[in-house]
Every structure is written in structure tokens, then in C-alpha cells.
Structure 1
Amino acid sequence: MSEKHQQISNFDPNGVGTKDALFGLPFNEDTAELIIIPVPWEVTVSYSPGTAEGPEAILAASPQLDLFQDDIKDAWKMGVYMLPIPEAIKNKSDNYRILAANYINWLEEGSPEYDAERFAAVPDLINTACREMNEWVYTQAAHYRAKGKLVALLGGDHSTPYGLIKAVAETHTNFGILQIDAHADLRVAYEDFEFSHASILYNVLKFPEISKIVQVGIRDYCEAEAIMAKENNRITTFYDKQIQEAAFEGKAWRIICDEIISQLPDEVYVTIDIDGLDPKLCPNTGTPVPGGLELEQMLYLMKQLVRAGKKIIGFDLVEVAPGPGEDQWDGNVGARVLYRMANLYGASKGNCA
């Protein structure tokens, strides 16, 4: 009996999960078909910090989830394993976050000349640190993808998936990105940081392999982003206001989902910023915005994506931040999104029945 079959045979999906394991599952790096890369990084966040704690919060909340999925038989048997949370990345994020926060405060104060020399070198320092983080993520993603693993990423802020998307672009020549988000993330080097969390979609547009970006739930964006989204034929945006107005006028969510999916090519990378959901579901995320999708509304879209025959070729979940003290609400919601997306990822690749 193989190690994986033995793990499955010895595990009771209706019982108590394995302690300190993602979703309580018994799998390891070798036996899991899906590898989750945790990236506790939030150097460029521009409002509230905390997203670097997201992977740990989701890990802590995940064992209390029930594993049964009524539409994907034995989904858990695919095997999901999260790599150890990299303390070196977390420590580097904490250190550079202090530097970036001071710089952002200086910008918000009007960039007073008397401190200009003090802050002159900060953007280059931050950009270098972010490039190193991106390269680390890319190396991890490329390594596991080369081993035939499915790979997903758990942030951290929304800058963190760049390296994974780069790795995906090396093996897929024509794919789309489905973005769930409150923000367009099309800013050019926001706050002078090239790899800002607010610039991730602008940055990945540089990969010619990405033929389409479809944004859903956008409701907080600047004029320059709106112009870019309108004028760039590789971007289609379903603004939250338009989605809600269509619903008020009687348009079914199923029809809107069909319209969203029709814009995407056969292969799709999914990027989920938790703030794309209604903030009652993620009150501690870095930049919450009123409005947004309900949990089942978003997951229904993902299910329809798979039903339509689209192949998920990677995904990320970012911007989950735990609440103060013992508040595990955000981690709880994040864990449920992560588990369902893992199952749908496997189902779209034929890994789940």
C-alpha cells in the first residue's frame, strides 16, 4: 500500500483532524496533490496591517471545517498540504513594513522637503525587497509545478502572487485571470512601490501569455484605473455597482456568471482578494470597502467556471487578516474559501470525482 493510500485508510474524515495540519488532513509534501505556498508578506499595505498573519490565522481555523462536499465526491482525498510558514519571509516583511509605513506617512504629510533626503532611498530598498520576495515565491512555485503538483498561494497582501503567476506563464501560453476584488489593482507603482499590493494586476499585464483579465466586484478605484480598464482590450471589469443594479432590475446571478465566464479563455488563473466579499465576512482585511459579494455568490461563480469546462491552472487567496485577540472570524471565512477553491481546482483538473 502506498503512503498516500495508507494515510487515506487511517484517516476518518468525520472525526478529529490532524493537529496543526491544514484542514486537519493527514497528507504531506509528497502525498498531497495540491501544495499551498504561504507568504506572510505585507510590506506595501497602505491602510491597515495584519494580512501577513493571514496564513497562520487560516491554518489555525482550518481543522474545525467539515470536509464533506456534496458535489465533489471524496474531495479531501486529493490531498492538500500547506508548506511551513516561512519565518524568514515574515521577519523580513515586518522589518521592511516599518520602513514603508514611515515613507507612506511622509507622503501623506505632503512630502515635506526637510525629510526628503531621509526618505530618498526608501523606494529602491522596498522595491529590491519585493523583488526578492517575488523570486522566492517563483522558485517555490516552479519547483512544485515541475514535480507535477497543483500549486496555490496564500497571502499576505495582494502583491504576493506575482511569482506564482510568473511560473504559470512559463508553461501556459494563453490564459486568463479571474480577479475577485474590491479594488482594480491597476495602479502604476502606487506610493512609489513598483510591487505594491495596489499594482499587482498592472504588473502581471506585462506577461504576454495573459490574454484576458476579468475583474469582478470592483468598487474602489481611481480615474486612471477606470480609463485603463476601459481602453485595454485585455481587461473586462464587472463593477460591483453594475452587478447590483442588474440584480435590482431582475437579472439573475446565473446569467451574470455566464457573462463573466464567457469573457475568459479555456485556462484560468483565479486571484481572490478577500475584500472582494462583503466586509461583514472580512472586517479585519487591510482595505475593507462597503458592498461586495456574498460568500456563496462568489463560490457559485467558481463552480460555474468549472461546470463550463474551464481549467483552473492556479489560484491565490490574499488579504485575510485576523481580528484582535481571540477573534477568528476572518480566518474562519478564509479557511472556507481556501478549502472550496482547493476542491474546485482539483475538480477542474480531474483530480476529484
Structure 2
Amino acid sequence: MASLSLDQKLAQFDPNALGDTSGGLYGLPFTPAEAQVVVVPVPWEVTVSYRSGTAEAPEIIREASLQVDLYDADLPDAWRMGLAMEDIDETIAAESRELRPQAEQYIGWLVDGSPAEAAGAHTQVPTRINQRGQALLEWLKAKTGALLDAGKGVVVLGGDHSTPLGYLHALAERHEEFGILQIDAHCDLRPAYEGFEFSHASIMYNALKLPQVKKLVQVGIRDYCQQEAELIEQSNGRVALFADRFLQAEMLGGKSWKKECKKIIAQLPQKVYLSFDIDGLDPKLCPGTGTPVPGGLEFEQALYLLRLVVRSGRTIIGCDLNEVAPGDTEWNAIVGARLLYHMANWMGVSQGRLAARDAE
């Protein structure tokens, strides 16, 4: 039987029906070649330093996406834009599974005080893992770069928060300058954390090595070390910190979330990359994430900020979602799938792929 054309798929698809398990992400009928926005899964979590499981995120989010209703009052025809996820690269997943125990044993050795009698088994681990981290960067840079050159919007779905670095490199080759909006519980500004250059705790330190990144705006932060605080203070304004404590104090003092969002957005340049670590949300929304921290944004607070960024006229040139882990409940994937849908759609709006209703 001949395959259906894109026009035929659009005509025959029922957005009100049950999620089609034979379809793609969210049960949508699009292939990555047909979709305007493509999700690139990166099942990698080699350097996580507390709890693991984030490498499973692309699969559990794909499964949970079938339960997501596609209607959005602001974006009633969002599904027609075309959203699809590439197949999970099993080679990447297998390498992550192979390297993760080595990193875990090495971290355990550090925690034990690096006893000399066990040094031989561990001293080469950082070098080995750093080499593979560089290879992952180059792989993702090439993959996302090809999609960008094909005119696609791209979302990277980790994995841990180290995963999108290659995508940032690809964007840096295609944009003279842009800012990063990071929603996170952690600053991720540690240089080569625990000896791992491409640690999940070092993603923004590595991103700042790119001269095209003119601004890093961090929102929801509530766990960071003195070294990171000093880096922010010495950044000459390149890094703007909106810590959770500050945001909560402002609102407890009577200021609105809308006013806080406007302050955040005022720090952003015209082109914005959104990096969303799900632990930036209140941990009741992501209890399985690797390093949960009390506090954080509510789901609708995060979406409100996202919508205001787009309605401000800024362009989201790319985004990532990371650190979703299954934990002991499907709740993590349920939240992650819905967050991913909104992120992809609003990025599409900002890029002119999808029209939004006027804000009230």
C-alpha cells in the first residue's frame, strides 16, 4: 500500500482520538522528515552524581506522550505544525550504560578520599569519559546542525543536562550571538566537576566558553557553591541570576509573577536558547529527577514565563529538556511529556511556524 502524503495525513488525522500507539510522538502522524520541529533524543547519563535514570527519559516520555491531549487554547492548531522524535540511537544508550558504572565507581573513590591503594583502577576514568563526552558533542553537533540546515526547529531531549552541549555548538556556528534562558535548581557552572569535563554540573560553564553566548539568565536556582557564586559575580553581567529565594521574596513582598517575568525577559537578547532542567520545577512535579531540591517553579509559572518570552517578540532558536527520570512513578514522564509539548510548540510560534491567539 502506498504511503500517505503529508496532506492526506493532515486530512485524515483526528486530534480528538485516543493516542495512536502506531503513530509517532504524541500519536502524531508525522515522520521527522515531514515535521517542522524534530526532537532529538540523547539517552546519556554517564556523569550523574546522585541518582540515575535520566537516560530512560526519551522512551518514557514517548510512551507518556500518547496520553497528552493536543488542544491548547492559545495554540488550537498546534498539532498541525508537525512534531516528531527521531529514533533513539541505541549505540549512544549502550555506551552510556557501559560508562556509567565506571564513573560511579570513580565518584565513590573520590568520596572515600581517593585512597592510594585503589588509584590504579580509577585514575584513567576521567580521561576515558572525557574523550567519549567530546565524541558525543561532535555527534550531536553534526546531527542537530544537519536538521537546522534542513530548516527544522530542534529540541534535544536528554538524558542528563550535559547532553545539549553539541547542539549549542551547532547553533553557535549559525548565529552570531544569542542568550541562554536556563530554568534549573542548580547553576551548573562547575569547571570539570569531579574531573569530568562534560559533567551535567558543568554544562553552563562549558556553554560560556562559546563567545556567541552573550548572556546566561538563570531562573529558579536554589543550590550552588561558592565557586559558582564568584563566577557569576565576576562575569561582568554576562550571567544574571534569578535565584528561587530572590523570586519568592519578591512575590512574598507583594510583587507579581508577571513583573518578575518581565525582569527576567529584560535580561535576554533577541535570540534565546531555552535550557530546561526539570529539577527547576517544584520536586513534587519531578520526584524521580537525579538531584531534587526543595522550592522551584510551579508548572504554570514556567509556562507563563515561556509564553511571555515568545510574546515579547524574541525568537527561541533552540531548546532542550533534561533530567527527567522514571523514579517509582509514571508521574515524572507525565509532567515531562506535557512540558516538552509546550516547549516545542512555543518555540515553533517564535520561529513563525505556528500562530498563537492574541493574549488577553
Both proteins in one fold, TM over 0.5: yes
In structure 1, C-alpha distance between the alignment counterparts of 2:332 and 2:172, rounded to whole Å: 31
Question: What residue number does 2:334 align with?
Answer: 332
1:141 aligns to 2:144 (yes or no): yes
The within-5 A match list for 1:193-212 is: 193-212=196-215
Local SS of the residue matching 1:218: coil
Output one character per residue of 1:52-108: Cα deviation in whole Å (capped at 9) or x when no partner. 011111001001100001112301101001001111111100000010000000000
What is the distance in 1 between the residues matched to 2:32 and 2:253?
Answer: 49
Give me the whole-angstrom Cα distance separating, in 1, the residues matched to 2:72 and 2:175: 30
Aligned with 1:284 (options 277, 285, 288): 288
Distance 2:209 2:6 in 1: 40
- Aligned counterpart in structure 1 of residue 5 of structure 2, from 3, 7, 14: 3
Distance 2:321 2:21 in 1: 23
Residue 294 of structure 1 aligns with an amino acid whose one-letter code is E
1:296 aligns with 2:268: no
- 1:3/1:31 contact within 8 Å kept: no
Query: Comparing 339-348 with 15-24, which one deviates more in the overlay?
Result: 15-24
Q: CA deviation at 1:16?
A: 2.0
Instruction: State how far apart, in whole Å, the 1-side matches of 2:213 and 2:189 are.
Output: 15
1:14 to 13, 16, 28: 16
Aligned to 2:347: 345
Aligned pairs, number: 351
Partner in structure 1 of residue 267 of structure 2:
263
Identity in percent: 53
Task: Report the residue type matching 1:209 in the other structure.
Answer: Q
Partner residue, 1:234: 238
CA distance, structure 2, for counterparts of residue 228 and residue 70 of structure 1: 42
Deviates more, 1:157-166 or 1:69-78: 69-78
Q: 1:4 and 1:31 mapped to 2: Cα distance? A: 7
Matched letter for residue 352 of structure 1: L
Per the normalisation by structure 2, the TM-score is 0.96
User: 2:106 aligns to what?
Assistant: 103
TM-score, length of structure 1 as denominator length: 0.98
More deviation, 184-193/138-147: 138-147
Paired residues for 1:1-353 under 5 Å: 3-19=5-21, 21-232=24-235, 233-324=237-328, 327-353=329-355
> Any stretches of 5+ residues in structure 1 without a counterpart?
none
Work out whether residues 75 and 343 of structure 1, in 8 Å CA contact, stay in contact via their aligned partners in 2: yes
Aligned to 1:268, the other structure's residue is in SS state strand
Runs of 4+ in 1 over 2 A off after TM superposition: none
CA distance in 2 between partners of 1:33 and 1:103 (Å):
42
**Alpha-carbon distance in structure 2 between the residues aligned to 1:115 and 1:331:** 39
CA contact (8 A) 1:73 1:352 kept: no
Residues 35 and 82 in structure 1, CA contact (< 8 A), matched pair in contact too: yes
Measure, in 2, the Cα distance between the counterparts of 1:4 and 1:347: 21
Q: Comparing 15-24 with 122-131, which one deviates more in the overlay?
A: 15-24
Whether the 8 Å contact between 1:214 and 1:260 is mirrored in structure 2 is yes
Unaligned runs of 5+ in 2: 356-360
Contact 1:321-1:331 at 8 Å conserved across structures: yes
Quote the Cα distance in structure 1 between the aligned partners of 2:8 and 2:232.
50
